[in-house]
Amino acid sequence: MELARGRPIDEIISSMHMVAEGVKSAPTVIELAREKDISLPISEDVYRVIIGESNARGVYKGLLRVIAGEESEPG
């Protein structure tokens, strides 16, 4: 929610009293997926938001344009 509001990830983490799910695991998940040549579009989007290459609002809008199951279909 805070990412969607536009707050920077570092600011969010420093103000939290609980674990920010995905923040620590996303880089490892993406690294492993790339090593194994596996496409994980939603995980890639989460990773791009976490590292500041994208924002939650833009990712959400992009997900709304994807047809269910499309991400698993061969290109």
| Token pair in block for residue 4 | 């969607």
Q: What is the model's pLDDT at position 69? A: 58
Q: What is the model's pLDDT at position 22? A: 74
Q: Residue for token digits 């690294």?
A: 31
* pTM: predicted TM-score of the whole model, two decimal places: 0.65
* Helix ranges (DSSP H) in 1-74: 9-15, 26-35, 41-50, 56-64
d(CA 65, CA 44): 16
Q: What is the model's pLDDT at position 19? A: 66
Q: What is the model's pLDDT at position 72? A: 55
One digit per residue, pLDDT tens: the chain, 75 residues? 777 777 777 787 788 777 667 777 888 999 999 999 998 888 898 899 888 888 888 888 877 776 555 555 554
d(CA 1, CA 17): 15
